[in-house]
Amino acid sequence: MWLGFELQKKYSLRGHWLWILGAFTIGVIGDQFSNYYYGVGGNFFLHASGGSAATLLYFYLTRTLKLQFNWRLNLALLFAFVSSLGVINEIAEYVAELAGFGKYSYDTHDSWRDLVANTTGMLVTWVAVSIVKAVNKKLQD
């Protein structure tokens, strides 16, 4: 893994695989939900689930590489990570439209709504994981 090489960290890709499973599961649920609720609402949920999945992927990477930050820096890095993936997705949608593979935009606000949805999914997942970690720590004490 490139990041582990750059940080000169030893890592095992299998150690925290449940985060990857969670990201995959949320992605599949988001995809199915967006197919059922076609339109702006389904598209918002699809991108929110993408933000959630990216958040779980971020937790996987930080756990695997044993990276620790205070909560403020952690949240800022998470936002940058999820936002970067969201922008890459929007560029891919734009290129696919230009190449004639279909229409990916509902209106002129689609990309902005998608980025807000990514951020919403990120924040909901970050809060949920933070609560679960706090409860788990309290139970262990």
Which pLDDT band holds residue 40 (cuts at 50, 70, 90)?
confident
Q: pLDDT digits over 94-131, tens only?
A: 999 999 998 888 788 889 999 999 999 999 999 999 99
Kindly report the pTM of this predicted structure: 0.87
pLDDT for the residue 76: 97
Question: Hey, how many other C-beta atoms are within 10 angstroms of the C-beta on 85?
Answer: 18
Closest by CA to 26, choosing from 124, 133, 130, is: 124
Q: pLDDT digits over 41-95, tens only?
A: 888 999 999 999 999 999 999 998 889 999 999 999 999 999 999 999 999 999 9
Average pLDDT estimate for 25-50: 89
**Percent of the chain whose predicted confidence (pLDDT) is above 90:** 64
Q: CA-CA distance, 119 to 7, in Å (whole number)?
A: 27
pLDDT for the residue 23: 94
Which pLDDT band holds residue 12 (cuts at 50, 70, 90)?
confident
Average pLDDT estimate for 3-18: 75
Q: Write out the DSSP string of 62-94.
A: HHHTT----HHHHHHHHHHHHHHHHHHHHHHHH
